[in-house]
Structure 1
Amino acid sequence: MLILNKLASFDLENCIEISRATGLISKIIEFTSSRTEMTNINEAQQTLLKGSSLELLRRFSSTKGEFGVILRQKISENLFLLNHLADILDDSGSSHELRELTSELLRNLAMEGNIKDEIGHIRVIISRLMHAFLSQDALSSTDSDQRLRMKSGQALAVLAMESANNCLVMLAEPGYVFIKELTVMIHGGRYRYIASSLLRNMCVHARSGLRNSDLNEISYILREVLKGITDAEGTELEVLIGLSSQICNVIPEDFAQELEHGQIKEGFIKRLVNALNSNMIPTAHCPGIRRVIVEHAIYMMEFNPAYASYFNNCQMMEALLTVERKPSRAENYRFLLGDAGLMKHSMPLSALVARAKELMGH
């Protein structure tokens, strides 16, 4: 396994050859089991074998491009893998390193989308990921604790995307007031963007499960989110605008009141238009930033048609026409790994642009 790991880290061609070897990936996955039939190795050696197997699977699952898609599909088709990963997370004796590798592997596999709900049906996986991300024990300042918390949160964020089932499972997990836990993180630094992504998906996919107290918690963070949009750039800006957009969609009265109360309505709209103009060329780090800005404008104008005049005054129509003239296939996906797009959006950006133009009277 150590030799295979070194070969895989050397170049992509080695990964291709390893994956083509008959039965090898299945054997590697077998080594992640806690119930191995090997009797000629002791417990310490078995832990090392499990760790090196997870490391190799993590490396395979993070491969970029078209071959990465094939590898993730090949790994996820194994009928026993998810149960092995659940056992690792559920075993109190598992090290931070094993849990971290498992969380990262789950995150990578969930990016393909076809296995996301299957992962969510194994409740212990989401339960243990939530415990690692939200538990007070995770507040330890050690590097290993922080890495585990980050990887667990990232896995949850990807599992929540485009999955109503997973969002509702997270919302119903006993022992946590999930929305409140996430809103507290918005005021912090290290995990605020993971929390923002999770909150956005809760608003999109678990609206029926949100209580009035949850909506109040979301309303309380609105000022902090709007302030963050003023300063953020790149991926962080995309995440925060995406969250703000959904807050506007779910509790539009509170959103409008915050804009009026803070006397920031014109400044905020101008910020959206400027961000749209400055991100006309999508990048691999934030392929969806134009999409979330247009969505936000739509939600605002659908709630209050008077916002259309403010967008017109800020030359939003000109920006929309530029988006229309310069579409990008990359914007059809939530993630880009190399030249491969993952998790395709159901609605094309062109349809959103058309709706925004309609609301602006074009």
Structure 2
Amino acid sequence: MVLVKSSLKVLQRLTSIGGEIGISLRYKISKNTFLLRNLMEIWQDNSSRQELRKLVAGIIRNLAIDANTREEIGHMQVPITSLMKAFLNLDKTSGTEVDCLLPKVAGQALAMLAIENMNNCLVMLKGPEFIKKLKHMILIHDDKYIYVAANLLRSMCQHAQAKLTESDLKEVLHTLREVLERIINAEGAELEILIGLSSQICKVIPEEFVQELEAGQNKQRFIKGLVDALNENMNPGAHCPGIRRVILEQSIYMLECNSHYASCFNEFRMMEALSIVKEAPSRAENYRIFLGDAGFMEYNTPLFSLVDRAKELMDRQSCKESVEPTVRNFRR
């Protein structure tokens, strides 16, 4: 058991190395024919302690940075179902620190496996009341799980929307008020995660999103927060490289479902902020995550395309508003 623990620790360290060396190491490690099978044997061994399972979850999380490895792990399905059980706290047997860490690391591994992978999202969605359990984690105000659960729920909305039931969508909606409230005070990586989720909720259930935003009388405060965050993150770092991207996506989805939001965005000088974003793009924003100085999971849509789309939607509404008084005067 000591040898297994030491080996897992070394393997976790190797798979977490950044830069080009890390890319090469993870590739070589993932190509080991027996690796995933052996990791699952350790996980499922009744004599394995929670600490060993935490190390296994960490290794899977690190290896899942690679798209091909994510796909391979998903085809096995056993890793995903095992990680789900640990994340949802179903196999917790005591209150030790390791027991508390295992669900978090397992959730991180699941979140990594869900990124840009519809098949893995659908496997997770088959878990009993999975969306409802993610909702509870977001609402319990425990920072150990909220952001992991929010990341997972974002991927479910993005890649498994067609399979979400009416009941699932109601659970998603129930998280929205909490997410909107947290966005107001969040910053950095947490803000990126929360806006990423709220933008997907807006895309999946736009009418309900608008109703919630209007009902809570948070519209102006929320839009001001988006513009402020855009201005405050003109040089995104490796810890939150996609923060301007998710703000732009959120703004676009809001304008698409209710064009009248354009006037509110204009009130807080959104057009000026968009111009600055387009003039000063960052190469870091092409990637979802960084390990060291190496970026991973490149986005398909360039940031400038999102800027152009947001400007187009705002310009369209401005033209409409300028034409309407002329039409009214003509009718008179």
Interval of TM-score (by shorter of Structure 1 and Structure 2): over 0.9
Q: Distance in 1 between the 2:104 and 2:295 partners?
A: 23
Q: Distance in 2 between the 1:139 and 1:241 partners?
A: 34
Q: Distance in 2 between the 1:91 and 1:166 partners?
A: 24
Partner of 1:318: 272
Partner of 2:329: none
Partner of 2:82: 128
Q: Distance in 1 between the 2:33 and 2:258 partners?
A: 51
One-letter amino acid of the counterpart of residue 203, structure 2: N
Partner of 2:145: 191
Q: Distance in 1 between the 2:72 and 2:201 partners?
A: 28
Q: Distance in 2 between the 1:125 and 1:153 partners?
A: 12
* Closer, same or farther: CA 95–139 of 1 in aligned 2, 3 Å: closer
Q: Distance in 1 between the 2:118 and 2:244 partners?
A: 24
Find the residue that maps to 1:191 and give its secondary structure.
helix
Partner of 1:265: 219
Partner of 2:321: none
Superimposed CA distance per residue, residues 163-186 of structure 1 (whole angstroms, 9 cap, x where no aligned partner): 00000000013xx21000000000
Q: Distance in 1 between the 2:223 and 2:20 partners?
A: 39
Partner of 1:81: 35
* Closer, same or farther: CA 198–139 of 1 in aligned 2, 3 Å: farther
TM-score, structure 1 normalization: 0.85
Q: Distance in 2 between the 1:152 and 1:136 partners?
A: 12
- Spell out the pairing of 1:235-314 with structure 2 (5 A cutoff): 235-314=189-268
Q: Distance in 2 between the 1:291 and 1:261 partners?
A: 27
Find the residue that maps to 2:67 and give its secondary structure.
coil
Partner of 2:129: 177
Q: Distance in 2 between the 1:294 and 1:89 partners?
A: 41
In the alignment, which of 253, 276, 288 is matched to residue 334 of structure 1?
288
One-letter amino acid of the counterpart of residue 185, structure 1: M
Superimposed CA distance per residue, residues 240-275 of structure 1 (whole angstroms, 9 cap, x where no aligned partner): 000000000001111100111111111111110001
Q: Distance in 1 between the 2:31 and 2:90 partners?
A: 35
* Closer, same or farther: CA 316–139 of 1 in aligned 2, 3 Å: farther
Partner of 2:164: 210
Q: Does 1:153 align with 2:107?
A: yes
Q: Distance in 2 between the 1:256 and 1:92 partners?
A: 49
Q: Does 1:92 align with 2:46?
A: yes
RMSD: 1.2
Partner of 2:325: none
Percent identity for Structure 1 against Structure 2: 57
* Closer, same or farther: CA 142–275 of 1 in aligned 2, 3 Å: same
Partner of 1:35: none
Q: Distance in 2 between the 1:105 and 1:169 partners?
A: 20
Q: Does 1:165 align with 2:115?
A: no
Contact 1:57/1:105, CA 8 A, preserved across alignment: yes
Q: Distance in 2 between the 1:90 and 1:251 partners?
A: 39
Superimposed CA distance per residue, residues 127-185 of structure 1 (whole angstroms, 9 cap, x where no aligned partner): 11000010344384320111111110100010011000000000013xx2100000000
Q: Distance in 2 between the 1:260 and 1:150 partners?
A: 34
* Closer, same or farther: CA 102–264 of 1 in aligned 2, 3 Å: same
Find the residue that maps to 1:361 and give its secondary structure.
helix
Unaligned runs of 5+ in 1: 1-46
Contact 2:289/2:295, CA 8 A, preserved across alignment: yes
Q: Distance in 2 between the 1:221 and 1:49 partners?
A: 44
Contact 2:30/2:63, CA 8 A, preserved across alignment: yes
Superimposed CA distance per residue, residues 2-40 of structure 1 (whole angstroms, 9 cap, x where no aligned partner): xxxxxxxxxxxxxxxxxxxxxxxxxxxxxxxxxxxxxxx
Q: Distance in 2 between the 1:79 and 1:346 partners?
A: 31
Higher relative contact order (CA 8 A, sep 6+): 2
Partner of 2:92: 138
Find the residue that maps to 1:341 and give its secondary structure.
strand
Unaligned runs of 5+ in 2: 317-332
* Closer, same or farther: CA 359–140 of 1 in aligned 2, 3 Å: farther
Contact 1:90/1:124, CA 8 A, preserved across alignment: no
Find the residue that maps to 1:350 and give its secondary structure.
helix
Find the residue that maps to 1:92 and give its secondary structure.
coil
Contact 1:89/1:125, CA 8 A, preserved across alignment: no
How many residues in Structure 1 have an aligned counterpart in Structure 2? 314
In the alignment, which of 228, 234, 237 is matched to residue 188 of structure 2?
234
* Closer, same or farther: CA 139–330 of 1 in aligned 2, 3 Å: farther
